[in-house]
Amino acid sequence: MDNSKQVKEAFEQAQAEAKAVREAKAIQQQNEARQVEAARNNKLEIKCSSCSGEYLLSKKNIARRGTAVKGVIQIGVVCPHCEHFAHSYFETPAMQKAQGQIYRTKFVWERSRNERAWKKLKAAQKKKQIAHDRAQARFAYLLPDAESSEEDENPLPATHNPEA
């Protein structure tokens, strides 16, 4: 292999690494922006669609409950006044599995910072998103009509994920 080819390859490798680092930084900035948004949401007063009572959204208002389908969990917000449960999203074993894969690939990425690890993390995140979207469509029938038709009832941001 001649010298110029080696130099070119080394340069391309360095460029790929720099790109991966830039993308990781962009993701970090996005996550921080999301956290700020969540903090702001926490200060917002939520108005219960059932009793019209108002309360501040916080982690303690977020609840998980089982459904008629084995393994499928409903995540939602519980009104502290009347205990009305407002649905946010469904969680399935496939989503939990995909989340586990995100943890593992993220762990590898944070230590290696190479492109291969980066791609695996991105693939795991995409898999989780697909599993999430699929589950919401698949189990929508579990929601009572009154609840699914009131779109403004869901006070959690669409990206809300307490495990992320």
The residues that touch Zn ion, with contacts defined as CB under 5 A, are 48, 50-51, 53, 79, 81-82, 84
Q: Closer to Zn ion at the Cβ: 54 or 110?
A: 54
Min separation Cβ 80 and Zn ion, Å: 8
Buried b (16+ CB within 10 A) or exposed e, 20-41: beeeeeeeeeeeeeeeeebeeb
Q: Closer to Zn ion at the Cβ: 34 or 84?
A: 84
Sign, CA torsion 104/109/111/114:
positive
Are 60 and 66 in contact by the 8 Å Cβ rule? The answer is: no
CA 105 to the chain's CA centroid: 15
Q: Closer to Zn ion at the Cβ: 55 or 108?
A: 55
Min separation Cβ 87 and Zn ion, Å: 14
Min separation Cβ 49 and Zn ion, Å: 8
Q: Closer to Zn ion at the Cβ: 24 or 55?
A: 55
- For residues 65, 73, 98, 157, the Cα torsion angle rounded to the nearest 10 degrees is -70
Min separation Cβ 83 and Zn ion, Å: 7
